[in-house]
Structure 1
Amino acid sequence: MLKDRYRILVYVSVVLLGLLIFALPAEAGIVPGGNNPSSQFGGVYRRPLNNNPPSLDPARTADIYAYTVVNQLFDGLVQFDSHLNPVPAIAGFWEASVDGLTWTFYLRKDAKFHNGRGITADDFVYSLSRILQPETRSPVAEFFQYIKGAEEVMAGKTSRVEGLKALDPYTLQITLEEPYTPFLSILAMANAKVVPREEVERLGERFASQPVGSGPFRFVRWDQNEQIVLQAYEKYYEGRPFLDQVVFKIGKQDVENLDEFLRGNLEEAAVPSMKREEINRNPRYRSYLHLRKPTLHLLYIGFNNRKAPFTNPKVRQAFNYAINMEEIIREIRKGGSVVAKGVLPPGMPGYNPNLQAYYYNPKRARQLLAEAGYPNGEGLPVIDLWFATHEKSARAELEAYRQYLADIGVRVEIHQAPNWKTFKKMLQAGQPSMFRLAWYADIPDPDNFFFPLLYSQSKTNRTFYHNPQVDQFMEEARRETDYLRRVQLYRTMEQLVVNDAPWISQHHKVFEFLYQPYVRGVEINSLGAPYIPMKKIWLERPKDQQARRGEKDIR
């Protein structure tokens, strides 16, 4: 008798975060068809991917390119629905103790890995333990540190996680050291997917490029810088997906991908900011499906807070006041993004519309520079500003930064890294003084912005920002179960961060894509493109499409 427990299903996110109140509505909604009786099986879906993923191993991924593929190859205990509620995946249902410390998951008995072996609770014990083990070098280990015994494993003292237990082959129990409000959402992350131990051990480092998962699509091949090919998994526990294949076309940027889309070589394409006005006005685009939705995203211009002159907060504040962000978003991004004021995007619990943020004030910028010891920019070194994307608007944005900063006496040199992999290594080494970087939320929780980007010990804190008071507030907010108190903690934190100015907040991205008119079943949530479930998409006339291209199925 579970008199001291309550069963948690879809409504858990309402209890923990109030997500239904804050859920972002889609401007174009969902294209119907996922479970429509008229849905058709077959066809190849070609999807652009701007860069090669560094890895397809869930435990080691930390970027949108990897997440976009990993979410189709692997499944976990839970998954997000279109409103970002955690709903069943391999766990058919679950229970949590009233104190929020003990979680019990009851697994489906028909879920299998792509090698044909059935999935058990021991596989989840292995997969979650592996994230915490130092040799895995997982960039997301900190998300799971509240599991009982996790810190000992992370410190290399033991390999056994006390809080992970397989009670029987289909019952998993997870015990936490203390309440952790976003825990269930974290289990829906791309990193929390289950992996088969025998394949990880057999393949070693090659598992990152030859993954074996349990999701709706299985891995076929990866041609570096060209494509990643996935095949429908016939034994998927929800039933095989509608599409025969998903092919990720790698390496081209948004404008090039749009050209390929218009030639009929892709089923979808992002709307480049430079093309937004043309797409909205030109009748040639009206036959395509045009979907828009605000996302939980932040693009920022980071400062290396360990590197002079950005060790001085007045310099960082001066740079913030020097930039006319409204004009950049209006004239360069053509209004397709939301001007960012702080850390959290609109729609995220804790978002503060009354945040005291920076605004364009070059007079104040010059004053702060003088107070920092650099009157009219005298004595400042030439600032190196780095970026990696080949998106055309990015260089135009940074040229605008260069000009605005020149107006207050700052000299800036813009540099482009050859690819994301190189850029990431530079950021990890703390080489750039300034850099253009984006963050896409993994879960619909404010912790997923503050902790990865601003916690002093986070591996993805690229600015090397360190404020002990902010660290303390983050840890308190993770434990806080009172919703309103938690929101207030994040609002207090955000104002402290804005005052410290570890970066310049630029914009929050709006998901905006064109789809071919025969594409059906697209389901978009506020996490954007990486979390679109390809298993729900179908093509209205897949046989005609295959005949037109003359492509063959890959088995």
Structure 2
Amino acid sequence: MLKFIKKGKKQGNIEPVEKENKGARLEFSKDAGILKKNQQHIVERLAMKIDETAFATDNLIKITYDLADHVEVQMDSINNVVNEMGTYSALAEEVFANTENSRQIAATTLDIANSGNEAVTNSINAMNEIQKSVIYAKEVVNNLNKKSEHIDEMLKVINNISYNTNLLALNASIEAARAGDAGRGFAVVANEVKKLADNSAHSADQIAKTIQEINGEITNTMKAMDDSMLRIQEGAEIANNTMIVFNEIIDAINTTSKVTEEINEAIAKQTASLESVIDCTVDMTDTSKRVTSLVDIASLNTQYTKTSLKILAEVSKDLHSISNKLLEEIDTDVLAENVLNISINSKPIEFDPQLAHDQESAQVLFNIYGALLYIGSTGEISPGVAKSWYVEDDGVTWTFSLRKGTKFHNGREITANDVKYSYERMLNPRFNSPNTWFLEHIEGAKEYTTGKASEVIGVKVIDRYRLSIKLINPYSGFLLNLGQFSTCILAKEDVEQGKITGCGPYILEEVTDEYCSLLAFKDYYGGIPYQEKIVINYRNDNDLEGFVDGKYDIITANSKDEFNKVKNMENANIYLADVLGTYYLGFNMESTSTFAKSKEARQALNMAINKKKIVDDILGELGQEAKGIIPSRIVDNSCLTNISYNSSKAKDILKKEGLYSLGRALKIIIRDEPEDAIFYRMSQYILKDLEELGINYEVKKIDVKNYYTREVISNCDIFVGRWIADTGDPDNYLQPSFNYNNLTNFTRYNNSKVMELMDKAKEIINPNKKMEVYKEIQKTIIEDSPWVPIFHPKIALVSKKDIVGARMSPLGIINYEDILMESNN
């Protein structure tokens, strides 16, 4: 028979030797059991991944068909736009002609108005001349009246002469009578004189009466002249008002003419623009036709892909069958349990996935609790419990179809009702989860978390395997939120009994103060994990020594010294990964310190912390000095400038801001960790920088579990923090730390402009424009300086040579289900 033995000392390599007994079972080395199990799991997981690819292909086919339908609708819309624009162009030309006619009419009206204005001016001038004539006539009549008064005086003189003459005639008659015949002739003369006097008196009376009548007529004439003057003045006033109206008409016509000319110019430009738009829409039509053709080709290719996947699935089944028969021939009498030992930095703070928000908890819980979607090692989403999903035409309603037969760790099938229950558990105000912001975009979530509603109306169960989730507004980053361990799906019946049961690749077997152990879930929807058991150690001992001694199979090198040591190890695989996170110095913005009140003081401390020294001394290649608060892989920070280290300038600013007259010691908290831990070492460098500034402070060590609690941070002025992204989406990174309403906003930073910009960014579809808003948000936060960003971390994942698949995602997570061991040594 064939017998395989180890080749030299190298693990996992086997070589065939001479065949001894034909037909007998094959015997293998002691690692054959591991290889056999790996072979079985690889074949099974291959089949699972082919099924998942088929799900994705079906989604792609549906999207392609939807795209084709929308392109067709778009082409119809473009044609309609072209027709409407043609009509509108004709209307514009007609309007142009009408406005030209209006302009000519306005010009004619302006000439008439000018003529009318001239005529009114002439009328006013004529009335002014008439007024002058009437005034002159009035003066003449007044003079005549005065002269009549003189005549009346003369008549009085005549009457007086007549009276005296008459009296003299009487006296003459008397004297003539005395004279007798001698005075007879004189009597006759006296009598005639008397008659003359009487006639003179009578004539004077007639003249006086006539003059009186003339005076009456003069009075009437004066009154008529006064009335005429009033009418002339009224006429003049009316003429003046008429002239004002004509002037207003002229101004209005001039304005109308100017506006008409502007309208003409605008219509001319609009007509030219319409012609350009029509040309563009024609181009769009041609482009849409090409897109339709490409969509048809893509649809055809996706059908080919689906056909290929079907063939591949059949091949996978054949491979599975042949592999099983081959493995049956392998003699593995002893199958020792292979255990993978992993060391992480510290103990998870929380094992309830909907309450946890620290990195260590995330590392463990991500591998225990499955969600609607799954985030792979690249940080992208793929099918999870949901095999497919699509968004409705409204852009806010997502429909998810679950895999049938997907099970919880307790063996029960997962249904759409479990998803709704799990989301409402996390959003329940009595539960007080710090992770509610993952689901705050769902319609009705806010009302439910504030106790104003009895359910989240945006999550609707369609049937046993389908549900819809309606958002407040379009937000594609929401899908990444559904792949988080905190938005996992839980079994209600176990949760109510105090046991949290999930559906991830591993089952939580045991938890102690030094380690926890995980067992592979045999019915995991993604296929049985390669490793049957994983022990996760958090003893805070020397990981590197443990790795060298064979105690640990996988560790992380977090410091410069550790990384330099493992780089030269022959038996180690090193996977260097950027982690989307930031280590920072945080201010309690609600404290009474100078730093809470003055952004200038916070900015000064930003230049007083020697970030470069921290990175160079502690991290080396495992850290990048932070320009801003957001890692550059999430938001480009090339536009930002490094804040230069300048302790003396910072001291001057802090003195000006009154820090040194605070009257009390600055309260600083640090994590209670071993002295070689990153947080502890970084804290010591920061404290030295504060000492150099002459700042009086007091330090309090807080255990890791209670460090990020509202009660602890509210009683300090400064803390040392870290934030690791849950997804690569900028909003996902910003919301937890800078939205005042979130419990994970430990600084209690509150800026309405930042909140408005974050809401604005969610509604922007164009990725470039969206990114510009996030750059503006980052600049605003840097200006306010609630953080002093220190560095963005990198992690070196170190594993033994016979371990395959140990990779870390940009979120700092290791997918344990992908790790396999080639040897049990």
Contact kept in structure 1, 2:611 and 2:790, CA below 8 Å: yes
| Match among 431, 436, 439 for residue 723 of structure 2 | 439
Deviation at 1:363, TM superposition (A): 3.2
Shift of 1:201: 0.9
Partner in structure 2 of residue 536 of structure 1: 818
SS of corresponding position for 1:291 = strand
Tell me what 1:407 maps to: 692
Please name the residue that 1:384 is paired with: 667
Aligned to 1:219: 508
Q: Contact between 1:7 and 1:95, CA under 8 Å: does it hold in 2?
A: no
Q: Which of 733, 739, 747 is 1:463 aligned to? A: 747
Aligned residues: percent identity? Answer: 27
Give, as a single letter, the amino acid of the residue that structure 1 aligns with 2:815: P
8 Å Cα contact 2:707-2:713 kept in structure 1 = no
SS at match of 2:367: helix
Cα deviation for residue 42 of structure 1 reads 5.8
Equivalent residue in structure 1 for 2:552, among 266, 276, 280:
266
Q: Tell me, yes or no, if the aligned pair for 1:113 and 1:213 is still in contact at 8 Å.
A: yes
Cα distance, 1:487 vs structure 2: 0.5
Q: Specify the alignment match of 2:390 in structure 1.
A: 95
Q: What is the CA-CA distance between 1:118 and the residue it aligns to? A: 0.5
Query: Paired residue for 1:361, among 636, 642, 646?
Result: 646
1:74 alignment partner in structure 2: 369
Contact kept in structure 1, 2:589 and 2:595, CA below 8 Å: yes
Give the secondary structure class of the aligned counterpart of 1:73: coil
Residue in 2 that maps onto 1:316: 602
Aligned to 2:431: 136
- Aligned equivalent of 2:360, options 32, 55, 65: 65
2:706 corresponds to which of 422, 427, 434: 422
Q: Report how far residue 455 of structure 1 moved.
A: 1.2
* Counterpart contact for 1:521–1:538, Cα < 8 Å: yes
Q: How many residues align?
A: 498
Q: Is the 8 A contact 2:807 2:814 kept in 1?
A: yes
Q: Which has the higher helix share?
A: 2
Q: Note the residue ranges of structure 2 that are not aligned, 5 or more in a row.
A: 1-58, 67-318, 328-334
Match of residue 246, structure 1, among 522, 528, 534: 534
For 1:52 and 1:397, the matched residues in 2 are separated by 20
Q: Is the contact between residue 572 and residue 800 of structure 2 (CA under 8 Å) also seen in structure 1?
A: yes
Partners of 2:614 and 2:695 lie apart in 1 by 19
Report if the CA contact (8 A) 1:456-1:464 is conserved. yes
Contact in 2 for aligned 1:303/1:435 (Cα 8 Å): yes
The SS at the match of 2:366 is helix
Which residue does the alignment assign to 1:154?
449
- Give the match's secondary structure for 2:407: coil
Contact 1:317 1:368 in 2 (8 A): no
Using structure 2 for the length normalisation, give the TM-score: 0.58
Contact persistence 2:555–2:797 (CA under 8 A):
yes
| Distance 1:258-1:114 versus aligned 2 partners, 3 A rule | same
How far apart, CA to CA, are the structure 2 residues paired with 1:504 and 1:333?
18
The residue matched to 2:632 in structure 1 has which SS?
Answer: coil
Instruction: Select the structure that is richer in strand.
Output: 1
Residue identity in the other structure for 2:538: I
For 1:70 and 1:479, locate their aligned partners in 2 and report how far apart those are by CA, in whole Å: 32
Question: By how many angstroms is 1:275 displaced?
Answer: 1.9
Secondary structure class of the residue paired with 1:488: helix
The Cα shift of 1:411 comes to 2.8
Structure 1 residue 164 and structure 2 residue 164: aligned? no
TM-score, L = length of structure 1: 0.84
Displacement of 1:86 in angstroms is 0.9
> Which digits, 9 at most, give the CA deviation of each residue in 1:277-336, with x for residues without a partner?
64166x4x1221111011101100111112212121121111111122112211232342
SS at match of 1:115: coil
How far residue 378 of structure 1 moved from its aligned partner, in angstroms, is: 4.6
Which structure ranks higher in relative contact order (CA pairs < 8 Å, sequence separation ≥ 6)?
A: 1
Q: Call closer, same or farther: CA 1:7–1:58 in 2, change over 3 Å.
A: farther
Residue 274 of structure 1: how far off its partner (Å): 4.7
Q: 2:524, 2:566 → 1: CA distance?
A: 40
Paired residues of 1:41 and 1:243 also in contact (CA < 8 A): no
CA distance in structure 1 between the partners assigned to 2:621 and 2:661 by the alignment: 35
Name which of 496, 502, 519 aligns with 1:231.
519
**Cα distance between partner residues in 2 of 1:192 and 1:459:** 16
- Asked if the contact 1:8–1:96 (Cα under 8 Å) also holds between the matched residues in 2, the reply is no
Q: Which residue of 2 aligns with 1:297?
A: 581
- Say which one has the larger Rg: 2
Counterpart of 1:122 in structure 2 is: 417
Q: How much is the aligned-residue C-alpha RMSD, in angstroms?
A: 2.6
Q: State how far apart, in whole Å, the 2-side matches of 1:167 and 1:309 are.
A: 55
Counterpart contact for 2:572–2:799, Cα < 8 Å: yes
2:766 alignment partner AA: D
CA distance in 1: counterparts of 2:345 and 2:611, whole angstroms: 26
